[in-house]
Amino acid sequence: MDIEKVLKKYVPMTETAFYILLSLAKPRHGYGIVKHVEEISNGRLRLGSGTVYGTLTKMQKDGVIVLFSDEERKTLYEMTDVGKNLLETEIVRLKELNDNAVKYEEGSL
């Protein structure tokens, strides 16, 4: 799937999809994603393994991530260039949201 189609399909990303993709800046096992997301969200988000697997399958089919196996023949997931592009696009949108949230707090909006 080319990048335009991916962006159209994924942006805006759900919180779950965003955090899963963000975790895959370096290769991780399926459950490694669950643990990492729990850690960076300070325990707020505990993703169900079914939800993570379903999201990973979809992302792999769309070429957002790739998988390979490690020395123990366990599956590792990793972001592709398309995935990176998607993440960066989403971050631009999130920054805009954040900027406006900050302006609101400062009373300048």
Partner 1 sequence: MKKVFQPFWSYDILKTERWLSQMAEAGYLLQKFNRMTRCFYFTKSISTTLTYRISFDKSSAGVMSSTLRNAGWSTAASSGHWKVAVNANSPESIQTSPVREGILKHNRVIFYIFLALLGYLSVVLVAGISGIGSSWLQDGSDGFVPSPWWILTFFFFALVALLLVLSVYSVNRISKTNKELSAGAPDAVPSPSRWTSKNAENSKPYGQPIRKIKVGWMYAPDKLEKWLEGMEARGYHLYRVDSLGIIFYFVKGEPWKVRYQADYQRNIDRGYLNIHEDAGWKIMFGSSSTFDKWTIWSQQYSENAEAPQFYSEGSTHLQHARRVAILYTAIFLPVLAIHAFNLSWMIRGVLSNTSVSVVSLAIYILSFILFGSFIYRIWAYYMRLKRTYVYRTN
Binding site residues, partner 1, CB under 8 A: 1, 14, 16, 27, 29-31, 34, 45-56, 60-71, 73-78, 80-82
Residues 6+ apart with CB under 8 A from 21: 13, 59, 64, 65, 79, 83, 86, 87
C-beta separation of 59 from 83 below 8 A:
yes
Q: Peptide bond preceding 12: is omega within 30 degrees of 0, i.e. cis?
A: yes
CB closer to partner 1, 5 vs 103: 5
CB closer to partner 1, 61 vs 95: 61
CB closer to partner 1, 80 vs 89: 80
State the nearest-atom distance from the C-beta of 109 to partner 1, in Å.
27
State the nearest-atom distance from the C-beta of 69 to partner 1, in Å.
5
**Helix, strand or coil, per DSSP, at residue 77:** strand
Residue 84, judged by CB atoms within 10 A of its CB (0-12, 13-18, 19+), counts as middle
State the nearest-atom distance from the C-beta of 52 to partner 1, in Å.
6
CB closer to partner 1, 3 vs 89: 3
State the nearest-atom distance from the C-beta of 106 to partner 1, in Å.
31
